[in-house]
Each structure stands twice: as structure tokens, then as C-alpha cells.
């Protein structure tokens, strides 16, 4: 157990980095981390570097694995299954694709135009921005592995249920006609060399970092401000564990925003440290990643209003249930 605790502290939480940043702040900036300014600078530098280190390592590893499963092969695999099995596989597939909600929509179009049931593609669409393998490690580095695994499980379950309900409702006609008419080119798969896979993985790291770096910076900046400048009394008065509406408010506030899980995690961390319920913080994070306003606008161009509102209702209801669940049973995970 001591070895596991040591590895968790040094590899995930990066205690060594925390100590280095503390030394830089105190010796370089001549600020104590016991002051608001010093603590904010320490929080910002430490979290930004930690997130980008973990993000780069994880995306490289995940992308290397993904190089064995190009979209066409993935489509063929999913096409072999029907019913709930296809929803489960699509939701699990979403966990290994490190895409934001907007980036997931082109794959949604590709899968639908290739003939996959819309329930299956919606399971993927919900799961992909909400949960990925990188999020497990990042959540564990901020909270712990129990919370990380619980978050992934409920995210996958939400994706399976959401896709299954949409499938049962038979809403194929609510997808715009051009999606079904979109041409799919079946390109023969070439065997990639190890060097090709490494280059692909490096490109994926650079591509994703370019897409998310600003959201990470903004998220960590907001987290640092919440953590050190906004009084706990104000936050708990609005979003305290005893407030029945806290999960609902956090979900509503999160929907208009646009970021991915890497940008919202520092905010969730700061909120929990200020006394906000775990479920409230996770609901905010899930609303931002799964129901962001830009992704809803994009989705409205490819599906009709009835299906769009059913999708929003299913996901938001699931987020609320998950939020209240985590608030009620947070003592199990903390």
C-alpha cells in the first residue's frame, strides 16, 4: 500500500512538481504560498503543467492504440451488432476517443451515413466528450480513483441509456436527409509501421493540445480565483451541499459554456475544495462537456427539433440524477 500511495502521489498528483513550483513561487517570486496571490500563482502554474504533462502522455498512448482501429474498421465492428449490445460498444468506443462534443459530431455523421442505427451513434455522441481514458487519470490525479471510476461508469451508463431510448423511439426520420445521403468512401486499410503509429500519436497530441490549451488556461485561471479569492461562504451559500437546487443550478450554468473535460476539471476541483458537493461539481463539468452551446448549434443542423430536444432532455435529466446521486453518497467516494 505504501508503494501504491507513493506512486499515486508522485506520478498522478505529481508531488515533486508541487514542491518545485512552491520553490519557484517562494524563491523566484518572493511570495509565500500561504498568501492569496502566492497560492493563486502556485495553483495556476502547478495545475497547468500537471494537466499538460498528463494530457500529452495519455493522448499519445491512447492514440497509439487507436491507430489499430481507424474509423472504417470501427464502423465495421459496430455494424456487426444490434440492440443494446451496439449501444454498449458505441459508448465504450466513446471512452477511447479524446474528442470534445463538437469534434464528435463529424464522426456521428460518418457513422449514421454508413448505416449504423441512430441509437448507436447517439451512445457514441454522448460518451465521447463526456468520458475518455485520459479523464480517468486526470480525475484520479485531482480527486481519487474511486471518484474517477465512478464518474466513468455513470457516464457510460448515461450514454447507453440515452442511445437505447432514442433507438426505441424510432426517430430515424428526425435526422436530416443529407446525413443519410452523405457518401462514405471505403478506403482499404494499410498496415502502419511502428514509426507511422508514433508519428500519428505525436500529431494527435499536438492537434488536441492546440484545441484545448486555451480552455485549460482559462479553466485553471478560474479555478485559482475560486480557490483563493472567492470566500467559501459565498460559494456555499449558492452551491452548498445543503442546497437542493445546487445540482440544477450548476447544470443550467454549465450548458451555455464551451470547454472540454480538461478545462473544467480545475474548476470542479476548486468548487469541491470550497465546500460544494461532489455531485454539483461533476454536474457542472458534465453539462459543459456534453451539452455545450456550440455543439447543440451544430447538432441542430443535422437533426430535427424533436430529436434535438429529446437528446437534450435525456442527457440533462441523466446529469441531474448523477449529480444528486454523487451528492447523496459522496461519503463513499471522498
DSSP string, 218-268: HHHHHHHHHHHTS-HHHHHHHHBTT-TTHHHHHHHHHTT----HHHHHHHH
First to last CA, the chain: 18
d(CA 216, CA 203): 19
The model's pTM is 0.74
**Residue 30: inside a domain:** no
The number of domains in the chain is 1
Task: Identify the pLDDT of residue 162.
Answer: 92
**Residue 23: inside a domain:** no
Q: Do residues 290 and 101 touch, judged by C-beta distance below 8 A?
A: yes
Task: Identify the pLDDT of residue 4.
Answer: 58
**Residue 106: inside a domain:** yes
- Residue 312: which residues within 8 A CB-CB, separation 6 or more? 291, 296
Containing structural domain, residue 130: 65-179+192-333
Q: Do residues 261 and 135 touch, judged by C-beta distance below 8 A?
A: yes
Q: Do residues 289 and 92 touch, judged by C-beta distance below 8 A?
A: no
d(CA 220, CA 190): 41
**Residue 187: inside a domain:** no
d(CA 183, CA 106): 13
CA distances to 24, 40, 168 from 31, in Å: 9, 11, 60
Task: Identify the pLDDT of residue 157.
Answer: 92
**Residue 47: inside a domain:** no
**Residue 4: inside a domain:** no
d(CA 144, CA 142): 7
Which 8-state DSSP code applies to residue 301?
Answer: T
**Residue 59: inside a domain:** no
**Residue 37: inside a domain:** no
Kindly list the averaged pLDDT for each block of 10 residues, start to end, along the chain of length 334.
64 84 92 90 90 82 73 68 84 71 66 78 83 75 84 90 90 80 51 83 84 83 84 78 86 76 80 88 85 78 88 90 89 78
Q: Do residues 219 and 263 touch, judged by C-beta distance below 8 A?
A: yes
Amino acid at each position: 500500500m505504501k508503494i501504491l500511495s507513493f506512486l499515486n502521489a508522485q506520478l498522478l498528483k505529481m508531488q515533486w512538481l508541487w514542491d518545485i513550483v512552491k520553490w519557484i513561487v517562494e524563491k523566484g517570486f518572493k511570495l509565500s504560498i500561504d498568501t492569496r496571490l502566492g497560492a493563486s500563482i502556485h495553483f495556476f502554474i502547478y495545475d497547468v503543467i500537471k494537466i499538460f504533462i498528463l494530457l500529452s502522455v495519455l493522448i499519445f498512448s491512447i492514440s497509439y492504440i487507436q491507430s489499430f482501429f481507424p474509423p472504417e474498421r470501427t464502423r465495421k465492428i459496430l455494424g456487426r451488432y444490434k440492440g443494446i449490445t451496439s449501444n454498449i460498444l458505441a459508448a465504450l468506443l466513446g471512452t477511447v476517443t479524446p474528442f470534445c462534443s463538437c469534434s464528435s459530431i463529424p464522426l456521428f455523421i460518418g457513422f449514421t451515413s454508413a448505416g449504423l442505427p441512430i441509437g448507436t451513434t447517439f451512445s457514441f455522441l454522448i460518451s465521447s466528450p463526456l468520458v475518455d481514458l485520459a479523464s480517468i487519470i486526470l480525475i484520479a490525479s485531482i480527486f481519487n480513483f474511486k471518484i474517477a471510476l465512478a464518474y466513468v461508469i455513470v457516464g457510460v451508463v448515461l450514454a447507453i441509456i440515452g442511445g437505447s431510448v432514442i433507438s426505441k423511439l424510432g426517430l430515424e426520420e428526425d435526422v436530416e436527409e443529407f446525413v443519410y445521403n452523405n457518401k462514405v468512401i471505403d478506403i482499404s486499410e494499410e498496415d502502419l509501421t511502428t514509426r507511422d503509429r508514433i508519428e500519428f500519436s505525436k500529431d494527435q497530441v499536438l492537434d488536441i493540445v492546440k484545441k484545448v490549451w486555451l480552455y485549460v488556461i482559462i479553466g485553471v485561471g478560474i479555478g485559482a480565483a475560486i480557490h483563493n479569492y472567492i470566500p467559501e461562504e459565498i460559494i456555499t451559500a449558492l452551491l452548498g451541499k445543503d442546497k437542493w437546487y445546487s445540482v440544477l443550478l450548476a447544470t443550467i450554468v454549465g450548458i451555455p459554456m464551451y470547454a472540454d473535460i480538461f478545462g473544467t476539471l480545475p474548476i470542479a476541483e476548486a468548487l469541491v475544495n470550497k465546500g460544494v458537493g461532489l455531485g454539483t461539481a461533476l454536474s457542472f463539468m458534465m453539462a459543459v462537456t456534453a451539452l455545450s452551446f456550440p455543439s447543440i448549434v451544430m447538432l441542430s443542423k443535422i437533426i430535427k427539433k424533436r430529436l434535438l430536444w429529446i437528446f437534450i432532455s435525456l442527457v440533462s435529466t441523466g446529469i441531474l440524477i448523477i449529480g444528486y446521486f454523487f451528492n447523496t453518497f459522496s461519503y463513499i467516494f471522498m
